[in-house]
Amino acid sequence: MMKIGITCYPSVGGSGIVATELGKLLAEQGHEVHFITSSVPFRLNKVYPSIYFHQVEVNHYPVFQHAPYDLALANKMAEVIDAEQLDILHVHYAMPHAICAILAKQMATHDVKIVTTLHGTDITVLGIDRSLTKMIKYGIEYSDAVTAVSDSLVQQTINMLDITKKIDVVYNFVDQTEYYYRSNERLKKEYKIKPEEKVLIHISNFRKVKRIEDVIRTFANVQEQVSAKLLLVGDGPEYSEMYELVKNLNIQDQVLFLGKQNDIAGLFSIADLKLLMSEKESFGLVLIEAMACGVPCIGTEIGGIPEVIVPGENGFIVPLGDIDNAAKHAIDLLKNNEKWNRFSINALNHVSDNFSSEKILKQYLQIYDAVLMGE
């Protein structure tokens, strides 16, 4: 039995989901898990007897222009390392979590090993911000082990930060006891989707990098040839502009803006195709969530997406911005039932073979064992 601390961004987002689900799996295996975060991770939605939550509190003193969250986090980490005698502190994101963990390790008296997982944005965005480059590099090099969610992210990290540290690829995973197809005709009816209509879906935090405009324009082409609806799930900075675009393209009757939703598996269960047209994506957790529900995917040739979609088997890959090709593949797949069924089964098998929680948990446990053995 290990005692494992986990720090992540607890709000909605792939890294928070992966970190929280990992904590739940570790607890189910008999390990003791301590979340050290600013608020309860959103997926920690029921009581788990061997999961503890330590809240980082930041005081706002008038003398500080900015509240010192990172220092408060490092202090809390050091407190928990000593009080709970943590074996491992697994942090998600180098900035600032790995730096805080290294500082905490130096302050604590109990020896702890630091495992850092890179999720993408810290490297792709912060890696080019010169004011933080040195610090990200430090966080990576002084962690006891580092993982990244795709091979593409490992290469990018090495190239951008000139890193010599070994980085292991550990892919995102999905819990197939939660993400599976369930018949959901009632929901389709409630959304006024006709039985013969195909459903395309996009789920994201509506940031510019997600290129939702390309999703909408692809759909606009598709619906000229296939009777279809587009579900846009999530919220974020691009929301209003995308709403306007849909109106300007005069497809507002076919596009449903659903905002943030909790029952993602329920929504994938009424979908026929998932679109992810991002310009940056280190993995694309939503792709495997979709595939676990039997939904084929079309994505861009960016970051880790080609490590998830197998073109011609469970979906298609198109060059960034190539909405014509994306629409062509979508129409072809949606018009061909036999092909769609094959892609759907392949998608399910692809998840079971490569991205199951059992498989990925085993990889993380091997990494924990290795650092504890001093390898």
Contacts of 315-322 with C-beta under 8 Å, sequence gap 24+, read 315/274, 315/343, 315/347, 320/211, 320/277, 320/279, 321/211, 321/214, 321/277
Of 174 and 323, CB closest to ligand GMT: 174
Of 22 and 26, CB closest to ligand GMT: 22
Question: Is residue 233 a contact residue for ligand GMT (CB under 6 A)?
Answer: no
CB 210 within 8 Å of CB 320: no
Question: Is residue 222 a contact residue for ligand GMT (CB under 6 A)?
Answer: no
> Bridge partners of 2?
none
Spatial strand order in the sheet of 51-55? 51-55, 32-37, 3-7, 88-92, 113-118, 145-148, 167-169
Task: Give dist(CA 167, CA 308) in Å, integer.
Answer: 19
Which residues from 132-161 bind ligand GMT, rule CB under 6 A?
A: 149
Return the residue of 172, 218, 254, 314 that touches ligand GMT, per CB under 6 A: 172
Question: Is residue 38 a contact residue for ligand GMT (CB under 6 A)?
Answer: no
Return the residue of 285, 308, 309, 347 that touches ligand GMT, per CB under 6 A: 285
Could you tell me which stretch among 50-58, 60-68, 258-266, 277-285 binds ligand GMT (CB under 6 A)?
A: 277-285
Question: Is residue 234 a contact residue for ligand GMT (CB under 6 A)?
Answer: no
CB 346 within 8 Å of CB 338: no
DSSP for 286-338 reads HHHHHHHTT--EEEES-TTHHHH--BTTTEEEE-TT-HHHHHHHHHHHHH-HH
Question: Is residue 282 a contact residue for ligand GMT (CB under 6 A)?
Answer: yes
Question: Is residue 18 a contact residue for ligand GMT (CB under 6 A)?
Answer: yes
Could you tell me which stretch among 11-19, 36-44, 258-266, 291-299 binds ligand GMT (CB under 6 A)?
A: 11-19
Q: Token digits for 114?
A: 């630091």
CA 80 to chain centre: 27
Binding-site size for ligand GMT (CB under 6 A) equals 18
CA distances for 215 relative to 177, 210, 265, 282, 322, angstroms = 29, 9, 20, 18, 10
CB 238 within 8 Å of CB 212: yes
Return the residue of 205, 221, 225, 356 that touches ligand GMT, per CB under 6 A: 205
Rg of the chain (C-alpha set): 21
**Smallest distance, ligand GMT to C-beta of residue 283, A:** 4
Question: Is residue 207 a contact residue for ligand GMT (CB under 6 A)?
Answer: yes
**Smallest distance, ligand GMT to C-beta of residue 105, A:** 23
Return the residue of 119, 137, 329, 350 that touches ligand GMT, per CB under 6 A: 119
Could you tell me which stretch among 39-47, 279-287, 330-338, 363-371 binds ligand GMT (CB under 6 A)?
A: 279-287
**Smallest distance, ligand GMT to C-beta of residue 353, A:** 19
Could you tell me which stretch among 132-140, 194-202, 221-229, 283-291 binds ligand GMT (CB under 6 A)?
A: 283-291
Q: How would you class 158 by CB atoms within 10 Å of its CB: exposed for 0-12, middle for 13-18, buried for 19 or more?
A: middle
The site for ligand GMT (CB under 6 A) is made up of 13-15, 18, 119-121, 149, 172, 205, 207, 209, 280-285
